[in-house]
Amino acid sequence: MTKKIFAVASIMLAFYSVTAQETTKTATKKAALLATSSDLSEDSTKTLTISGGLDAYYRYNLSNKFVNNNTSFTGSQRSFELGMATVRLDASALSGKVTATVDLGFGRRAEDFSYNDGVSLGKNGFASLSNIKQAYVTYAPSSTVKLTAGKFATHVGYELVDAQLNRNYSMSYMFTNGPFFHTGFKADITAGPVGFMVGVTNYTDQSSATNNVNSIIAQVSGGSSNGKVKAYLNYVGSFGSKSLSIPGSLKSLSQLDLVVNGTVSSTFGIGFNATVQSRKTNVDPTSGSWWGSAVYLNFDPTSTFGITLRSELIGDNKRIYFSNTKSIFANTLSFNFKAGPLTIIPELRVENANAAIYSKKDATLTKSTATALVAVVYKF
């Protein structure tokens, strides 16, 4: 009897073992099929990078009363100010062939950067886009071609909106009076050491077009074989029908801009920016050009300390932007004290104008002014 029971148990155990093996094989096949199906629809090379920064400053103009500021982002006097808190997300897929960038900013710096956003758009009410500094997608069909669509910072000029990307905290006149950003489409093409960019966008600094004037943007870039010199020739041209009713009676605006960066040694570098902007309007006295040039001398004796001197000259004989002077010569000396991701920037700025445009303590006008500020910049 015991032998019969043992025989039956052995048969049942063998049957169970075979069934379990088949079930396991079936489950393994299903898992493999699901994995294969998932691999076809999901990209295992997807990445997400988060970066950003925060900056704040205290500014004191020696007039002891008046702001005396004609450039972007630092229009305060004897006040602690938040510049901007910014968060940037960069996502990529298909080994970097497809990317998307969302760059958000909060604070007066971001609001001034997107100064056209939040204006009335007619029947649709108001659109508040000032917190979106950049939002664009790119597709690279090959290693030499990249296509971009969305809102992106301008290619024109030496300086950038993010404080952590500049060595001077206060901004130049060329940055202030040039374009800030573009919304549209562009294509970047590389051919060996030379790069080309061309695109079509809304009118300058408009996330949503308020007129039917489009802009053409372009850039040619190149550098020396040893990588110590890099140059960028930039262009923006905005043209429309003469019959259009454009705010400010503007018919067209074009700007040609040159940026050159040179590395002299491991501790010393030179930057140069020159620009000329021309505009035509329905009123001849407001048609004309202004120009500017600036030299940036960058000295880094140690990894934790650097000095930058920016000397900028602006010429505006027809007073296109500066209604009360024909020229301004501004010198800005900035010290960069670095502690990891933190940079402290004490700065002294001295300006001289062709005419008396700055206010003194007693409210009379003078041709020169001086400003001191201290900024704190953190990046992550």
How confident is the model at residue 283, as a pLDDT? 63
3-state secondary structure of 284: helix
Q: How far is CA 380 from CA 11, 86, 231, 323, 342, in A?
A: 67, 10, 28, 41, 9
How confident is the model at residue 50, as a pLDDT? 98
Q: Per residue in 99-157, pLDDT tens?
A: 999 999 999 999 999 988 854 444 443 446 789 999 999 999 999 999 999 999 999 99
Q: How far is CA 36 from CA 31, 33, 41, in A?
A: 8, 5, 9
| Phi and psi, residue 19, nearest 5° | -60, -45
Residue-wise DSSP of 36-50: HHHHHHS-TT-EEEE
Between the two ends of the chain, the Cα-to-Cα distance in Å is 79
How confident is the model at residue 129, as a pLDDT? 78
| Phi and psi, residue 194, nearest 5° | -110, 140
How confident is the model at residue 293, as a pLDDT? 98
Residue-wise DSSP of 217-278: EEEEEEE-TTSSEEEEEEEEEEE--TTS--GGGEEEEEEEEEEEEEE-SSSEEEEEEEEEEE
How confident is the model at residue 118, as a pLDDT? 59
Taking only the tens of pLDDT, the chain with its 380 residues reads 434 433 434 434 343 343 444 444 444 433 343 334 344 356 778 999 999 999 999 999 999 899 999 999 999 999 999 999 999 999 999 999 999 999 999 999 999 999 888 544 444 434 467 899 999 999 999 999 999 999 999 999 999 999 999 999 999 999 999 999 999 999 999 998 999 999 999 999 999 887 778 899 999 999 999 999 999 999 999 886 554 454 456 678 899 999 999 999 999 999 999 999 998 876 666 688 999 999 999 999 999 999 999 999 999 998 888 888 999 999 999 999 999 999 999 999 999 999 999 999 999 999 999 999 999 999 99
67 and 77 Cβ atoms separated by less than 8 Å: yes
Dihedral angle computed from the Cα positions of residues 20, 23, 24 and 28, in that order, rounded to the nearest 10 degrees: 180
Structure token pair of residue 145:
């071609």
pTM: 0.84
How confident is the model at residue 145, as a pLDDT? 97
Residue-wise DSSP of 124-152: G-B---TTEEEEEEEEEEETTEEEEEEEE
What distance in Å separates the CA atoms of residue 99 and residue 12, rounded to the nearest whole number?
A: 58
What distance in Å separates the CA atoms of residue 247 and residue 239, rounded to the nearest whole number?
A: 14
Q: Per residue in 240-286, pLDDT tens?
A: 655 445 445 667 889 999 999 999 999 999 999 999 999 887 666 66
